[in-house]
Chain A
Amino acid sequence: MNNSVESRDTSNPLLVVQEVNKSFGGLTALSRVSLQIQSNEIFGLIGPNGAGKTTLFNIITGLYSADGGEVNLAGQALLRCKPHVIVQHGLARTFQNIRLFANMTALENVMVGRHVRTHRGVVGAIMRNTSTRKEESAIRAQALQLLDEVDLATAAEHLAKHLSYGDQRRLEIARALATEPKLLALDEPAAGMNPSETLDLQQLLRKIRASGITILLIEHDMRLVMQLCDRIAVLDYGKKIAEGSPAHVQQHPLVIEAYLGGNLA
């Protein structure tokens, strides 16, 4: 932390992670990690394998509980919230090892994402009254719209498990967007994509940011990270070793050491 150059304006952070600790058994996965993500930026989180990126991710999104520290999203404390409550507060995520609803269609996957912003219950479902029908057709329309935005409109009726790897990644993004997040957290969205798919992804993420959504990105593809992110934090052995602009991070001695002459672009 002390080695990183304090970055730009910190007056309006969307997500504040403060001194988060986590250990599994005797193994320290995260030690006093702090970050701030500003509204409407694309924030990259990188680090070698096992650095604790996904652990931090799972703590922020409520799947793991932290041993200590604080996480705030737009002033809302997130720690100790159930995952579904965190989504309500405006944080949606994707998974490193794609977790779609495999036997549902692409369209249905995205429609599930609308769950948290819609309200009709059992009685409405059985009676199918006007308000339920309205809500249902709105869900469908919005889901189709989102599929269209990620270029999957033609695959709407395909089962998620039959989609190609890249399509599944984009479907996961569409499903997360359906929850109307303030912050979209992506866990290695380019993993397994070929270069042209990665390029499309880059454009998609820019488009999403342009629509006013902040993005937190874990990624191994350094070229993508360096081209896309406004700021980057680097984790190594559960500690943040650097934070700042791509150029700053690339020059950082600790980062270079951590990657040991790795393929840092």
Chain B
Amino acid sequence: MRPGLNKLQTGWHALQRDRRSVVITWLALGLILACLPFLTELSLGRSWVRILDFTLLYIMLALGLNIVVGYAGLLDLGYIAFYAVGAYLYALLASPQFGLHWPVWAILPLGALVAGVFGVLLGAPTLKLRGDYLAIVTLGFGEIVRIFLNNLNTPYNITNGPQGISQIDPIQIGGIDLHQTQHLLTLTIPSTHLYYYLFLIFTLLIIFVSIRLQDSRIGRAWIAIREDEVAASAMGINTRNIKLLAFAMGASFGGISGGLFAGFQGFISPESFTLFESIIVLCMIVLGGMGNIAGVILGAILLTIFPEALRYLGEWQQLLLGRVWVDPNDLRLLIFGLALVLSMIFHPAGLLPSTRRARELHARRSILAQEQDSLYEQQR
């Protein structure tokens, strides 16, 4: 055994000694997460609990896209299509649209599966494409899905077109209707809180799966493909299958969160699944720190909460300037865009880059490095 191995082992022992503080940290975090909706309602009001619910949905989406972009390095600009597939599947199977009322436990796995199949369908023709070519094809795919949703009301009414589908069945679990306020002993739990807990469970599950995948043979293969596809195939990785797997896994996360979204909202329309949404989810993972689960979660939280916080711009103007000069709704996106620009300029690798430091796509730089190499070769 070399010193390096010994060092690794001492590191492991130190980690185990730290177990107790780790457990305490996790317990505290669990307690905070459990009380969060009530604390939020007390301090900011019920509408913020709804925002919390959406934050969790976006975390799931971002973690799904992170598998495709962050791990496998495949730039996907049409990711929201899988969210749409999951949402519409739920809406069609549990609403008066077709008179079907399937239970949620049947729809969600089916949604994950169907979205996964869509992921493979998208992935298959794009396997040979690199970088920006892939981006434009995925973007086109996302648009195609949205346009179909928008127009499949004639000649047969499937999606109800731009009007969308309403009166979607609320999510019911074990006879508990999450749209109804529930009472537990002396505790009154409103619907938004119930959904929070449900989404939290799914989010934790997806985080768990992400972590497990990241530290696995498959996760390493994804990252290897991202780092250097040629070298990966020269190491015996079947790049076609492993890429398709990334598309399918990422898409199935999107499908699940889409189903949850439909049940939560009770109403969906193609407007929720525009290219802009795909772009925002991409911004979440790049802003937070691609490939790093904690970073992606942070990005999703910031980009969901920040635009909502900007709704208070009117009050702040009143406070600071004496009157409302500009409609806060008109300023929100402007400031959001500025924030995106500034945060990337100051944190180009994301706010929380991966623990292995910059695990990002250094395409341009590596090309330069190769050019220098070949120059070097010529001089020799």
Contacts and interface: CB of A to CB of B under 8 A. Distances in A.
A–B contact with Cβ pairs below 8 Å: the answer is yes
Nearest to A111: B220
Nearest to B238: A84
B218 A113 contact: no
A113 B235 contact: yes
B357 interface: yes
Interface stretch (A2-10, A117-125, A198-206, A253-261): A117-125
A159 to B, nearest CB: 6
A128 B212 contact: yes
B237 A159 contact: no
B135 interface: no
B315 to A, nearest CB: 45
B interface SS class: helix
A122 B3 contact: no
B3 A112 contact: no
B249 interface: yes
Contact of B218 (A111, A117, A125, A157): A125
Nearest to A83: B233
Give the residue among B4, B217, B238 with the most A Cβ atoms within 10 A: B217
A62 B257 CA distance: 41
Interface in B341-380: 356-360, 362, 366, 370, 373-374, 376-377, 380
Nearest to A179: B236
Contacts of B233: 82-84
B326 interface: no
Contact of B237 (A84, A102, A156): A84
Contact of A103 (B3, B237, B249, B358): B358
B224 interface: yes
A104 B236 contact: no
Interface in B220-247: 220-221, 223-224, 227-228, 230-239, 245
Interface in B309-357: 356-357
A116 B220 contact: no
Contact of A87 (B235, B245, B376): B235
A175 B266 CA distance: 53
A230 interface: no
Given A103-B360, A112-B221, A153-B4, A122 B232 contact: no
Nearest to B225: A101
Interface stretch (A71-79, A92-100, A209-217, A239-247): A92-100
Contact of A115 (B228, B236, B358, B370): B236
B239 A159 contact: no
A108 B217 contact: no
A224 interface: no
Contacts of B235: 84, 87, 92, 112-113, 115-116, 175-176, 179
A155 B4 contact: yes
B370 to A, nearest CB: 6
Contact of A101 (B5, B7, B227): B227
Interface in B104-118: none
Contact of B234 (A87, A111, A132, A155): A87
Contacts of A117: 236
A101 B356 contact: no
Give the residue among A95, A99, A135, A176 with the most B Cβ atoms within 10 A: A99
A100 B5 contact: no
Contacts of A176: 235
Chain B interface: which size bin? 35 or more
B31 interface: no
A220 B377 CA distance: 11
B356 A103 contact: yes
Contacts of B362: 102-103
Contacts of B358: 103
A87 B374 CA distance: 26
Contacts of A116: 235-237
Contact of B230 (A63, A92, A96): A63
A136 B213 CA distance: 12
Contacts of A118: 217
B227 A102 contact: yes
B5 to A, nearest CB: 6
Given A105-B356, A111-B220, A121-B218, A63 B212 contact: no
Nearest to B366: A102
A121 to B, nearest CB: 7
Contacts of B366: 102
Nearest to B362: A102
A120 B217 contact: yes
A139 interface: yes
Contact of A154 (B4, B212, B227, B237): B4
Contacts of A148: 2, 5
B4 A159 contact: no
A164 to B, nearest CB: 15
Contacts of A38: none
Given A125-B216, A175-B235, A104 B356 contact: yes
B123 interface: no
A125 B217 contact: yes
Contact of A83 (B4, B212, B234, B380): B234
6 contacts: A63-B230, A99-B228, A100-B228, A103-B362, A126-B213, A175-B235
Interface of B: 2-5, 7-8, 209, 212-213, 216-221, 223-224, 227-228, 230-239, 245, 249, 356-360, 362, 366, 370, 373-374, 376-377, 380
Q: Rank and list the top 6 A-B pairs by shortest CB-CB distance, nearest first.
A: A116-B236, A125-B216, A87-B236, A153-B2, A154-B4, A101-B227
Given A84-B238, A100-B231, A159-B357, 5 more contacts: A84-B237, A92-B234, A108-B223, A115-B237, A124-B216
